[in-house]
Amino acid sequence: MTPITAPLADLAPVGLTELVDQAALQTRVDRKYLVPLEEVSQLLAQLSACARVLEIDAARVFRYESVYFDTPRLASYHCAAYRRRRRFKVRTRSYLDSAQCWLEVKISGARGSITKHRLPYRPQDRATVHPGRAFVQEALEREDICPLADSPLDPVLVTTYQRVTLLLPATASRVTVDTELTWQDGDRTLRLPDLAVVETKTTRAASAADRLLWQRGTRPVRISKYATGLAALRPELPDSPWRRTLRRHFRDVTSSAGTAPSTTPRSVQEASCV
């Protein structure tokens, strides 16, 4: 049992179909927060009057796995590291409790907007982009962003976590709470057992969850499960957008390879986006 189990039980349920109908938000604004688990429990209790929790087959906490793909030169990573105006991520997302899988292309656009393209995918193919390569190429070309040409896309990082999803009906917005965060890069593994990533997904205006977090003095942070995790595990990579997050929250975390993520300034070298 985790600290968030008890407040989850007090929330009214919402089914997946209704959640999608009310707050699909494929184009949206995301705000991310790193919050200690004890504070997440308090946040959920405060939201009990205005939020509903996703429930499927009596379960409210679900296991996720994401495999992130990148080019040999880490084009996706470097687009994020150098804050390119338009950036992309390619991943498979597996819902481990239901054995469902999707291939996803996420595009970051102007003023923080996010557009997601999704393709149903076979779970046994989640570690390769090959069956969906044409879909990825088409999605990127449709968004006029970083064509990959003939560059291969290889699996680079695997993340696993447990997710709770809330619907805030008044603003048709969603809140996700991710715990038990783990990153794996080859034989290196990194964990953040005492923190949650709380992410609000809105059309534009702040949600009730945002306002409650702000009242506590908690502000959005720059964190990407892919880029921040890879920067923590590969100290040689440029890390400017996430350096404050790495120093504050990853400083004392040790990987299974026995090395702590670097927190010293690192030289930044320009890299191409393709």
Q: pLDDT-based confidence at 260, cuts 50/70/90?
A: very low
Are the beta carbons of 37 and 225 closer than 8 angstroms?
A: no
Q: pLDDT-based confidence at 149, cuts 50/70/90?
A: low
Backbone angles phi, psi at 142, to 5 degrees: -65, -35
Q: What is the pLDDT of residue 252?
A: 57
* 134-148 mean pLDDT: 82
Least confident of 5-9, 48-52, 156-160, 182-186: 5-9
Q: Is the pLDDT of residue 133 over 70?
A: yes
**Rounded Cα gap, residues 100 and 14, in angstroms:** 20
How many Å is the maximal CA-CA distance in the chain?
52
Q: What is the pLDDT of residue 156?
A: 97
- Reported as type and span, the H/E element at residue 138 is helix 133-142
Q: Which residues contact 9 (CB under 8 A, 6 or more apart)?
A: none
Which pair of tokens denotes residue 134?
């044409």
Strand ranges, E, within 139-218? 154-168, 173-185, 188-192, 195-202
DSSP state of 16: H
How big is the chain, counted in residues?
Answer: 274
* 248-270 mean pLDDT: 50
Q: What is the pLDDT of residues 158-182, one digit of tens each?
A: 999 999 999 998 888 899 999 999 9
- Reported as type and span, the H/E element at residue 60 is none
**Rounded Cα gap, residues 70 and 105, in angstroms:** 12
What's the predicted TM-score (pTM) here?
0.85
Q: What is the pLDDT of residues 48-91, one digit of tens each?
A: 999 999 999 999 999 999 999 999 999 999 999 998 878 899 99
Pairing of strands 62-70, 87-95: antiparallel
Higher-scoring residue by pLDDT: 150, 51:
51
* CATH architecture observed for domain 17-249: Beta Barrel (2.40)
Q: What is the pLDDT of residues 198-228, one digit of tens each?
A: 999 887 788 999 999 999 999 999 999 999 9
